[in-house]
Amino acid sequence: MPKPTSQFSAELLWAKIPSNTQARILEAMWCAHCSKAVKIDTYTVHGIADSVILHAHCPDCGGEVRRYIEPQDLGPLRLSR
């Protein structure tokens, strides 16, 4: 089982992602209900192991949208252990 990462660590990791990369992620969140990419503006940051997970709601249907950001997406921005 992956060990949970504290909310704080996940937020720190997200904050290290360049803002243009953050924007690209936030503009293309996939809504499974609408079957399309949606742009979200409010989200919460969570983490499991060294992955960051964004939780948001679809602006069209209001359904929950999640985006896993894998360690390989973060390149050198891995959490130190």
Q: CA 20, CA 42: separation in Å to the nearest integer? A: 16
Min dist. Cβ of residue 14 to Zn ion (A):
22
* Contact residues: Zn ion, CB under 5 A: 31, 33-34, 58, 60-61, 63
Q: Which CB, 15 or 64, lies closer to Zn ion? A: 64
Whole-angstrom distance, CA of residue 3 vs CA of residue 10: 13
Q: Of 52 and 65, which CB lies nearer to Zn ion in the complex structure?
A: 65
**By C-beta, is 12 or 34 nearer to Zn ion?**
34
Among candidates 14, 22, 18, 17, which has minimal Cα distance to 39?
22
